[in-house]
Amino acid sequence: EPEVTQTPSHQVTQMGQEVILRCVPISNHLYFYWYRQILGQKVEFLVSFYNNEISEKSEIFDDQFSVERPDGSNFTLKIRSTKLEDSAMYFCAGGTGSFQPQHFGDGTRLSIL
């Protein structure tokens, strides 16, 4: 069964550095999402992306965050200048419709030092 794949599985970065998290959704997905989960806390929505533009974003998704799907396959989340509080698991998800089930990757653990 096709899977959503995320790379890297673990990223360690110095505070203030830029980081790019990558996701390869399932090929027939049209809607793409990023969520994050701080250790011991709830899964939180960051952003949804459809038709090559952001359709919805949360308060967490400030100017330091950006998303793009440059080549029609990879879906990336960029954090421009990381902060300690950005340390979390970041999950990518995709779906075929806005109210169809979302399929999640296994996440990237981001550790900011």
Which residues are near other proteins by CB under 8 A?
Answer: 4, 31, 33, 35, 37, 42-45, 48, 50, 55-56, 58, 89, 91, 93, 95, 97-107, 109
Amino acid present at 5: T
Amino acid present at 65: F
**Which of residues 4 and 67 has its CB atom nearest to other proteins in the complex?**
4
Least Å distance, CB 9 to other proteins, is 11
Least Å distance, CB 65 to other proteins, is 15
Least Å distance, CB 52 to other proteins, is 14
Q: What is the 3-state secondary structure (H, E, C) of 15-65?
A: CCCCEEEEEECCCCCCEEEEEEECCCCCEEEEEEEECCEEEEECCCCCCCE
